[in-house]
Amino acid sequence: MSRFSPYDNNGGSCVAIAGADYCVIASDTRMSTGYNILTRDHSKIYKLADKCILASSGFQADMKALQKLLAARHLIYQHQHNKQMSCPAMGQLLSNTLYYKRFFPYYTFNVLGGLDNEGKGCVYTYDAVGSYERVGYSAQGSGSVLIMPFLDNQLKSPSPLLLPAQDAVTPLSQSEAIDLVKTCFASATERDIHTGDNLEIVVLNAGGIHREFMPLRRD
Amino acid sequence: MKLDTTGLESALPLFGTNCQMVDGFTAAPAFDLPTTLDFDGFQKEAIQMVKPAKGTTTLAFIFKEGVMVAADSRASMGGYISSQSVKKIIEINPYMLGTMAGGAADCQFWHRNLGIKCRLHELANKRRISVTGASKLLANILYSYRGMGLSVGTMIAGWDETGPGLYYVDSEGGRLKGPRFSVGSGSPYAYGVLDSGYRYDMSIEEAAELARRAIYHATFRDGASGGVASVYHVGPNGWKKLSGDDVGELHYKYYPVTPSTVEQEMVEVSGA
């Protein structure tokens, strides 16, 4: 007798890259369960604040619940503080929200991207129960084990723990970063069955939010 | 199941007096529990799914000049290295440090919570909390969640009125006072170097070098440890980060490649 499992893995991959004055967040739009594809155009990217975008892969029902909760908390924050939440603040809120379900976790692997208070790109990467870290780039989801080594090869920057400190933001320009992301997903699509169909790229910079799409292999 | 949520309550209600708008968000957040007959089995499966970051080397020791704290920076999920730049030495307040070993989320959350409680203690009592007190706060919280699957192996190091203090606290509810500790999968290797090189009356530089070497040797032999070896010193004026070195570079610093005589040299063969 197999027990009912409240979880399912809908697959997919998410990537975020932080630049000097921009942030690129991307994910594929395939939603699958087991070997079946449920839909080819499901967005995993959600705008939480003007300067803060969440991309999550994993169990999409938990992702939806998490997005709604964070959006509601953000609305309350705006009412109480008369301003939008900054990305680092949202980063801490997401970590706490995930940890409050420590004994019944949200099965989501999140990447939060945006601009910090100085306008520099920032990316926060999470595990399912809320441990988080600010990094220069990150990949999560079923294709992350394929994408991360490639990003390490292209973007590896000095660790923020080194003393004397060295700057960790990638020297890439915005268009180079977008091309890099497209390359990542094209490669991940080749070797990960859960990644493919369409790539949604969101770019956040001082000029606002810009969204573009690129088709991926549908097989 | 009644859980100890004193660690989560804040002194003021979160949303003021008018709580109608925010019915779903209580002032004292409680942990959601799954409704299942087999809680332990569910936790076991959930942990398998989550696979929290484990595997680490941290160490701390008391010596004449205070407390030296050091750690690596690798986080692994099963066999996958999820990060090489994790901050495992957590700054609870300007004169107290905590180390992280075990579940990364557990350590991050409860250390931040401990920092909040320490600050509340300062405001309520107009004096800093002692290392004994801080470690007891954390140990009591972890004891109340004993058996629920938290994984925390931490050391609280600080300088208070009684001088330098070092406690080991873990998620089984254990709390030990001692002069030297190392925690994590790389701790046996670190202990070997640390115990053989330890003297109470070392200078700060000697102690830092001992701590750095111990971490380096642990990262050399333990696959789950690596990244950057960070070394902190806690003195009477608080903590100060002394160094952060990539362990790959430390390797060549400690064991430099010596040029050796070449017996036969390979030469380019043209054509073939």
pLDDT at B264: 77
Which residue in the set A104, A130, A159 is minimally distant from B246, CB to CB? Answer: A159
Average pLDDT of the residues of chain B:
86
Contact residues on chain B for A103, CB-CB shorter than 8 A? 31-34, 43, 46, 148-149
Query: Is B56 a residue of the active site?
Result: yes
Nearest CA in chain B to A8: B49
What residues of chain B score a pLDDT lower than 70?
1-30, 47-54, 272
Counting one residue from A and one from B, how many pairs have CB atoms under 8 Å apart? 104
Considering the candidates B17, B26, B35, B56, report the single residue annotated as catalytic.
B56
| Span B199-208, pLDDT tens digits | 999 999 999 9
* Alpha carbon of A80: minimum distance to chain B alpha carbons (Å): 9
**B219–A contact, CB cutoff 8 A:** no
pLDDT at B119: 94
Residue A88, H or E segment: helix A87-99
Which residue in the set B45, B53, B149 is minimally distant from A131, CB to CB? Answer: B53
Cβ-contact A140, A110 below 8 angstroms = yes
Per-residue CA distances from A187 to A10, A129, A152 (Å) = 20, 29, 15
- Residue A169: Cβ within 10 Å count: 15
Nearest CA in chain A to B45: A5
pLDDT at B40: 78
pLDDT at A66: 97
Per-residue CA distances from A85 to A16, A53, A133 (Å) = 19, 11, 18
* Average pLDDT for A130-138: 92
Q: In what order do the strands lie in the sheet with B175-177?
A: B89-93, B96-99, B153-160, B163-170, B175-177
Selection from A196, A214, A192, A216 nearest residue A143 by Cα: A192
Cβ-contact B211, B231 below 8 angstroms = yes
Which residue in the set B45, B85, B107 is minimally distant from A161, CB to CB? Answer: B85
Per-residue CA distances from B244 to A159, A160, B97, B261 (Å) = 9, 9, 16, 35
A49-59 as b/e: b if 16+ CB within 10 A: bbbbbbbbbbb
A214: helix, strand or coil? strand
| Span A68-103, pLDDT tens digits | 999 999 999 999 999 999 999 999 999 999 999 999
Cα separation of A207 and B209, whole Å?
48
Per-residue CA distances from B12 to B26, B126, B136, B158 (Å) = 12, 19, 24, 28
Cα separation of B245 and B225, whole Å?
14
| Span B131-173, pLDDT tens digits | 999 999 999 999 999 988 899 999 999 999 999 999 999 998 8
pLDDT at B39: 79
**HEC string for chain B:** CCCCCCCCCCCCCCCCCCCCCCCCCCCCCCCCCCCCCCHHHHHHHHHHHHCCCECCCEEEEEECCEEEEEECCCEEECCEEEECCCCCEEEEECCEEEECCECHHHHHHHHHHHHHHHHHHHHHHCCCCCHHHHHHHHHHHHHHCCCCCCCEEEEEEEEECCEEEEEEEECCCCEEECCEEEECCCHHHHHHHHHHHCCCCCCHHHHHHHHHHHHHHHHHHCCCCCCEEEEEEEECCEEEEEEEEEHHHHHHHHCCCCCCCCCCCCCCCCCC
* Average pLDDT for A103-123: 94
pLDDT at B8: 63
Cβ-contact A13, A44 below 8 angstroms = no
* Alpha carbon of B200: minimum distance to chain A alpha carbons (Å): 26
Average pLDDT of the residues of chain A:
93
| Span A2-30, pLDDT tens digits | 788 899 999 999 999 999 999 999 999 99
**A110–B contact, CB cutoff 8 A:** no
pLDDT at B182: 95
